[in-house]
Amino acid sequence: MTVRTVLTVAALTLQEAARRRVLRALAVLTVVLLALSAWGFSRIDAEFGGLTSGEARIASATVLNLVMFGLSLIAALGTAFLAGPTVAGDIESGTALAILARPVRRWAVLLGKWLGLVAFGGGFVALAGLAQLLIVRVTVGYWPPAPATGLALLAVQAMVLLTLGLLLSTAISPMASGVVAVGLFGATWIAGVVGSVGEALGNESVARVGTISRMLLPTDGLWRGAMNAFQDPGLLAQLGPGLQAHPFLNHASLTVTYLAWAALWLAVVLGLAAMAFHRRDL
């Protein structure tokens, strides 16, 4: 019964997400970004046809990471603003009261909503990311070394943000939860860049800013793992250590320990969201 409830709510959440205007905005932004990317990569080949194969790979991998950051930002905006109304909107409209008046467990409803949003966010990242990789392949002939790993990490990044959005939506309004989630996403990315500068300069205090921010909210850490998966393995060796702090290049892949931390973070925050929803006065 509980499993059926979870799956039913997940399917309804997925259908609801597909009907929202946020989906149309996401689709428009993604198409525009992919079109600009196709034009940009074609100009790299046309304007810099004299590049050596190594220089072409450097340019392609760097621009690919820049475009992928745009896709991850679109995914972050979409998931954050979809997660907010999912719980807080139902509470404000009285829909939650009508559903939960039946013998339905609150945590099952929340888990179903989470699964529906995960399916939506993961599907978006997979489709848009694969389209971007094919564009790069066709225009400049570059194919990243670990595309599946990179797309998977971007999907987990979206999961992290939508889980945070669900937790926030159990306490504040839909719009506020979306704004706070996106704001934290941006702040963590900036802190990560600051931390990379500290690592490049050998300043441990500044480097610690990035480390702490990636532990508190794993979005930037996962993004850096995705960048490493999309870029050529010998790229930083060719560019030298001076570009270690480049915001769209990463010199190391993610460790198993950090991935385990990200999984634990997801479980803890989802659990906190379930507890907050259970105690929420409808």
Q: Are 181 and 78 a contacting pair, CB within 8 Å?
A: no
In angstroms, the first-to-last Cα distance of the chain is: 23
Model pLDDT, residue 24: 77
Instruction: Provide the H-helix boundaries in 202-245.
Output: 204-216, 219-230, 235-239
Question: For 85-144, what is each residue's pLDDT tens digit?
Answer: 777 777 777 777 776 666 778 888 889 889 988 998 888 889 999 998 998 888 888 888
- 40-93 pLDDT, tens digit per residue, is 877 776 665 555 666 667 777 778 888 888 888 888 778 877 777 777 777 777
pLDDT of residue 149: 93
Cβ 80 vs Cβ 174: under 8 Å:
no
In this predicted model, which residue has the larger pLDDT, 276 or 250?
276
Average pLDDT, integer, range 17-44: 80
CA 86, CA 19: separation in Å to the nearest integer?
Answer: 13
Judge whether residue 278 has pLDDT over 90: no
Q: Which position has the token pair 């030298």? A: 240
pLDDT tens by residue, 151-203? 999 999 999 998 998 898 888 877 788 888 888 988 998 988 888 888 877 78
Radius of gyration of the chain (CA): 20
Tell me the CA distances in angstroms from 272 to 47, 101, 111, 121, one per residue in order: 53, 22, 12, 21
* pLDDT at residue 262 in the model: 95
- Residue 219 pLDDT class (50, 70, 90 cuts): very high
Domain segments of the chain: what residues?
A: 1-279
Q: Which residue has the tokens 């990789």?
A: 133
| CB-based contact 135:35 (threshold 8 Å) | no
Predicted pLDDT of residue 108: 86
- The whole-number average pLDDT for the span 208-218 is 90
> Which tokens go with 272?
């906190």
pLDDT score at 197: 82
Quote the mean pLDDT of the chain.
Answer: 82
| Amino acid (one-letter) located at 57 | R
Better pLDDT: 47 or 36: 36
Residue bearing tokens 């929420």: 280
Q: Is the pLDDT of residue 242 over 70?
A: no
Eight-class DSSP state of 254: P
CA dist 214 → 37, 187, 259 (Å) = 29, 11, 12
- Are 142 and 64 contacting, i.e. CB atoms less than 8 angstroms apart? yes
State how far the Cα of 64 lies from the Cα of 73, in Å rounded to an integer: 14
